[in-house]
Structure 1
Amino acid sequence: MKRPGPLLTLLAGLLLAVFMLTLNATTGVRNTSSSGPRTPAAAPPASAAPEKSTSPPSRSPSPSPSASPVPNADYAGRTDDDSSAVAVSLREGRAIAYFCDGHDKESWLKGDVGDDGTMRLTGKNGAELDGTLRDGRRIRGTVDLGGRRYPFTADKAVKPSGLYRATATVRGAALDGGWIVLPGGKQVGILDRDGEPSTAPVIDPETGIVTVDGKKLTAHPVTP
């Protein structure tokens, strides 16, 4: 009987080869299917904080300059219907005004002037003047007198234009005269004799001299 040596040796080699192939195949599948822990994705870098502006802060607008103070000045003009004249004298926030038609209607008025140039002046028998100083050059307003309203414009007056007044006693009569000298030299005035009004005689605006009933009087510029 022959010994099975070579055949067994060959069979053992085949079995060993099959075993090794199986082992390699199993190991490859395991290595492929199993995966190690994944490395977490790196977080995106934090955005840099915005740089602060190096430009200087904007300045708030400067406050508007205050209105100009009410000037010390005189104003003279006529009513819109050209029936009468109006003169206003301003001094230190106070005002005195004279309304006159040159015949028998007149009124002296006074009061304060606001910082904005507005004024409300009052006189006897409910007379009232409402006006506004505009740019220091003219006064626009109205005079209410005897149930009538007289709109007027009075421009800034340059001497000898302006407002004048004279008071005296002549031959036992109390005289009270008011004159408005308009730009251009025309005069409008009333002279009261014991309360009776009449057209006033012309004054010399350079000197203020006026002759009443043969007596010379001096009319002086009027200020508050």
Structure 2
Amino acid sequence: MRNPGPLFTLLAGVVLAGGIGIVNLATGTGVAPVAGAANAASVGSTSAPPPTTSAAPKAAAPKAAAPARADYAGRVTGGGASVAVSVRDGHAIAYLCDGKKVEAWLQGVTVGGKLDLKGAKNASLTGSFDVASVTGTVTAAGKTWQFSAPTAAKPAGLYRAAPKVKGKTGKVGWIVQPDGSQVGILTTEEDSAAAPALNFASGATATVDGVPVTAEPVSGLAGNGDF
């Protein structure tokens, strides 16, 4: 009986060659496809998203320079008193008044829009100002107030006069608010009291002790008043 070994070997070779040929025909290449290769190629070819860029922060608007000349009038926080400030060429004068007994005249220099004013009996005012308003702290008669006052267009602002009262020189200060309201104090050697109202129809006049008195505007804009 013949040995079948060579025959089986020949048949195995034919089967193996046929299998390789079928694979080549199916893929169109001489190399069998590798599982997952198509997916890997697809993932690798996906374009990366463009880098995100954040918007540059907006630059802060430059702060308006402090004016060389300005007038302000307003009220302290919570009411109870009024304050007026006039600035002219590096100097300032201010007046605090409650319309009854408390008042203070203050003056000093201005540097870079800052105020540091002093008055009698340890009165003081510190703050800052720009083209729109003045804000700060004022102390007088043992009390301290915060305040913010807008710019004042005439007739609003600060006024004063030095009338004769019973033969002696008195002193009057007025603050006229932008809304037209006004407050003031008449001070004499004996007492202090509410000042008579100013009449702007006759040129900022008032009647003091039966005598007409013309008030002087203290204005940084107009250049009036003693700085």
Scaled by the length of structure 2, the TM-score of the pair is 0.66
Matching residue of 1:172? 167
Aligned counterpart for 1:88 among listed residues 63, 80, 85: 85
Percent of aligned positions that are identical: 43
Q: How does 1:131-170 map to 2 (within 5 A)?
A: 131-134=127-130, 136-170=131-165
Mapped to 2, the partners of 1:71 and 1:143 lie a distance apart of: 22
* Secondary structure at the counterpart of residue 198 of structure 2: coil
**Paired amino acid for 1:186:** S
Q: How does 1:187-198 map to 2 (within 5 A)?
A: 187-198=182-193
Matching residue of 1:109? 106
**Residue 195 (structure 1) shift:** 5.0
Could you list the per-position Cα deviations for residues 158-212 of structure 1 after superposition, in whole angstroms to 9, with x for gaps in the alignment? 0000000000223312210000000111001000122511000001135111001
**Paired amino acid for 1:100:** C
**Paired amino acid for 1:208:** A
* Secondary structure at the counterpart of residue 121 of structure 2: helix
Q: Which moved more, 1:140-149 or 1:99-108?
A: 140-149
Q: Which moved more, 1:77-86 or 1:201-210?
A: 201-210
Query: Does the Cα contact within 8 Å between 1:94 and 1:113 map onto a contact in 2?
Result: yes
Mapped to 2, the partners of 1:113 and 1:71 lie a distance apart of: 9
**Residue 66 (structure 1) shift:** 10
Mapped to 1, the partners of 2:118 and 2:213 lie a distance apart of: 28
Unaligned 5+ residue runs, structure 2? 1-61, 219-224
**Paired amino acid for 1:213:** D
Q: RMSD across aligned C-alpha pairs, in angstroms?
A: 1.9
**Paired amino acid for 2:214:** T
Mapped to 1, the partners of 2:160 and 2:72 lie a distance apart of: 15
**Paired amino acid for 1:106:** E
Query: Does the Cα contact within 8 Å between 1:86 and 1:180 map onto a contact in 2?
Result: yes
Query: Does the Cα contact within 8 Å between 1:88 and 1:98 map onto a contact in 2?
Result: yes
Matching residue of 1:33? none
**Paired amino acid for 1:176:** K
Aligned counterpart for 1:118 among listed residues 97, 114, 121: 114
Scaled by the length of structure 1, the TM-score of the pair is 0.67
Q: How many pairs are equivalent?
A: 159
Unaligned 5+ residue runs, structure 1? 1-64
Aligned counterpart for 1:128 among listed residues 115, 120, 124: 124
Which has the higher Rg, Structure 1 or Structure 2? 1
Mapped to 1, the partners of 2:80 and 2:189 lie a distance apart of: 25
